[in-house]
Amino acid sequence: MSADPASFRDPAGRVFIENGRVFRTVNEAAVADFDYARDNDAVRKLVAAGGVIASTPVAANDADAPRVRAARIVEHPRLPFISYPYEWSFPLLKAAALHHLDLQIALLEGGVALSDATAYNIQFIGPRPIFIDPLSFIAYRDGDYWTAHRQFCEQFLNPLLLRALLGVPHNDWFRGSLEGVPTPALARLIPLGPRLSWRVLSQVILPAHLQSTEGSLGKAQATVARPLPKLAYLGMLNDLRAWIAALRPKGAAKTTWADYATNNSYAGEEAGTKHEVITRFVEVVRPKMLLDFGCNTGEYSECALKSGARSVVGFDFDQGALEGAYARAAERGLEFLPLFQDASNPSPGQGFAGVERADLARRCGEARALIALAFIHHIAIGRNAPLDRIVDWLISLAPTGVIEFVPKEDPMVQRLLALRKDIFQEYALETFLSLVARRARVAKTVQVTRAGRVMVIYDRGER
Amino acid sequence: MPATMITVILAAAAALSAMIAPAYAYIDPGTGSIILQGIIGGVAGGLFILRTYWAKVTAFFGGARKAEKAAADRGADA
């Protein structure tokens, strides 16, 4: 048994996954802080409220528990899905940032500090953030500095500012730079107007400048020798909280799909048929987890949840759609997590040794069903992906699902072809159906529009 | 006896120096972030002192005014 590939940075302990159970070991050197936080009232309250993951002591004779030297071994409940900050939309990253700050503010009063501020320590259950690493909790001593301040800025504040000040989504940058957006890089990009604001000046421009000045190491060493007043620490946390809470994406209304649900080519009857097909499909399968490819603002994710899916993870590449989907999930309390994903370039395995952050397919193992409505033409026609490999990929991700085929005659496909040569001879319903039939049973086909949109239910027969 | 005394003093000194030693974490805080916090800490400390003095000043005048008002109230009662 070896530790999870992402569990190596903090020497305080390791995470092990065995038989679908999640264990955490605590090393001798970290046991004092671990016990201190475990018995701390502020921590207990946060665990009870669901903001911090629960830790249950593991029995000595537990057969699944890791057989390694450890001072403590605890078990955590397994989360429905692991997502990464480069897959979060602006509101998800913002919710994660506020969650981190709220934790720190509540804990500092209770005498607990956080040893790090990595965004990967926050996960989502539906749209609700949860902090998953109790080994980050350490005893706070009056005068201590916020040692993870820079990490907080690089992994939360800077990516949010990138979108709020410059209108650039953080996802591509964060995926390329797994530790977030470096402060000096952001400092170079910020235009003069926002540069003059006190907050930008103090949290971005000044730290970037201070870091690069000569003799900064000596100055920093001299600084940490003086205590940081708790009042100043709390003031900084509260000010960051107020700032982040007020951040909005710049130019949010202008993305392609933001108002797709009201501005698309479907007639009401077609939407009705789609709802009906999804409802019946989900009522039969009752999946613990369903994936929704091209989830848009989550209309059909919500339909699936109402029909008996326990949780839905949605994917879309449009920021406006994802923001709408987040609002739907948060406002209606749905177990729905809408994530950024470009289907023609899904999240790869990456990080240290190429495996630290798992690729998308590896994290979809719990999915029991999928839906992909008005989806495949975007990658088949829009991105020239071969139809047979699209079918391979989708069917490999869940044992059963509903895939909508949108024919060339459809106005949406016509729009994709408007300014280019039609090189897609294989793109036809018959070909699609035969490709599906080679990999799974075609359980049902339902025509959705007169122009020829068809919903195809496949079943690999593995339930 | 003196040897034990010295041990006690040394232990106390060790404990004291441990208490004021900076708490380093497993991640590098970065020099920019630390110097910034030093500045913020200084400003906050300064503001705190100012606020304390200001509170004393307002208490002095406010207290004087309250005393006057109380005297006036007493006069009205009489």
Cβ separation B29–A148 shorter than 8 A: yes
Q: Which amino acid is at B72?
A: A
CB A190 within 8 Å of CB A200: yes
Q: CB contact, 8 Å: B44 with chain A?
A: yes
Cβ separation A228–B22 shorter than 8 A: no
Task: For A63-118, list the strands marked E by DSSP.
Answer: 72-76, 112-114
Cβ separation A216–B32 shorter than 8 A: yes
Q: Are strands A72-76 and A21-26 parallel, antiparallel or unpaired?
A: antiparallel
pLDDT score of B47 more than 80: no
How is residue A229 annotated by DSSP? P
What would the two tokens of residue A384 be?
């020239």
- Percent of chain A topping pLDDT 70: 97
Q: Which amino acid is at A400?
A: T
Q: How confident is residue A251, by pLDDT bands cut at 50, 70 and 90?
A: confident
- Min distance A253 CA to chain B CA atoms (Å): 35
Residue A66's Cβ-count burial label (10 Å; 0-12, 13-18, 19+) is buried
pLDDT in tens, A329-338: 999 999 999 9
pLDDT score of B15 more than 50: no
Q: Which amino acid is at A63?
A: A
Q: Which among B28, B36, B48 has the least Cβ separation from residue A229?
A: B48
Whole-number Å distance between alpha carbons of A80 and A84: 14
Cβ separation A208–B32 shorter than 8 A: yes
Task: List phi, psi (to 5°) of A399.
Answer: -65, -25
Task: List phi, psi (to 5°) of A457.
Answer: -95, 120
Q: Are strands A56-57 and A72-76 parallel, antiparallel or unpaired?
A: antiparallel
- Min distance A421 CA to chain B CA atoms (Å): 53
Q: Which SS3 state, helix, strand or coil, does residue A72 take?
A: strand
Chain A positions touching B30 (Cβ under 8 A) are 149-150, 207, 211
CB B60 within 8 Å of CB A248: no
Residue A313's Cβ-count burial label (10 Å; 0-12, 13-18, 19+) is buried
How many residues comprise chain A?
463
Task: List phi, psi (to 5°) of A403.
Answer: -120, 130
HEC string of A367-416 equals CCEEEECCCHHHHHCCCCCCHHHHHHHHHHHCCEEEEEECCCCCHHHHHH
Whole-number Å distance between alpha carbons of A362 and A348: 10
Q: Give the DSSP H/E element, type plus range, for residue A22.
A: strand A21-26
Average predicted confidence (pLDDT) for chain A: 94
A101 contact partners, CB below 8 Å, separation of at least 6: A237, A240, A241, A244
Task: For A187-307, list the strands marked E by DSSP.
Answer: 289-293
Cβ separation A207–B32 shorter than 8 A: yes
Q: How confident is residue A41, by pLDDT bands cut at 50, 70 and 90?
A: very high
pTM of the model: 0.89
Q: Give the nearest chain B residue to A137 (CA atoms).
A: B25
Interface test with A, best of B16, B35, B39, B43 (most A CBs within 10 A): B35
pLDDT in tens, A115-166: 999 999 999 999 999 999 999 999 999 999 999 999 999 999 999 999 999 9
> Which B positions 49-78 lie with beta carbon below 8 A of chain A?
none
Cβ separation A207–B30 shorter than 8 A: yes
Report the complex ipTM: 0.82
Name the most confidently modeled range: A2-6, A234-238, A400-404, A450-454.
A400-404
> Which A positions 101-120 lie with beta carbon below 8 A of chain B?
115-116
Average pLDDT over residues A276-285: 97
Q: CB contact, 8 Å: A206 with chain B?
A: yes
Size of interface A-B (CB pairs under 8 A): 111
Average pLDDT over residues A345-358: 96
Task: List phi, psi (to 5°) of A130.
Answer: -140, 140
Q: How confident is residue B3, by pLDDT bands cut at 50, 70 and 90?
A: low
For residue A360, count other CB atoms closer than 10 A to its CB.
19
Question: What are the distances in angstroms from CA B56 to CA A108, A231, A232, A237, B40?
Answer: 29, 20, 21, 28, 24
pLDDT in tens, A59-78: 889 999 999 999 999 999 99
Q: What is the dihedral of CA A116, A120, A125, A129, to 10 degrees?
A: 40
Q: CB contact, 8 Å: B23 with chain A?
A: yes
Q: How confident is residue A462, by pLDDT bands cut at 50, 70 and 90?
A: confident
For residue A34, count other CB atoms closer than 10 A to its CB.
22
**What angle, rounded to 10 degrees, do the helices at A268-285 and A299-306 form?**
40
Residue appearing with tokens 């593995």: A462
Cβ separation B43–A232 shorter than 8 A: yes
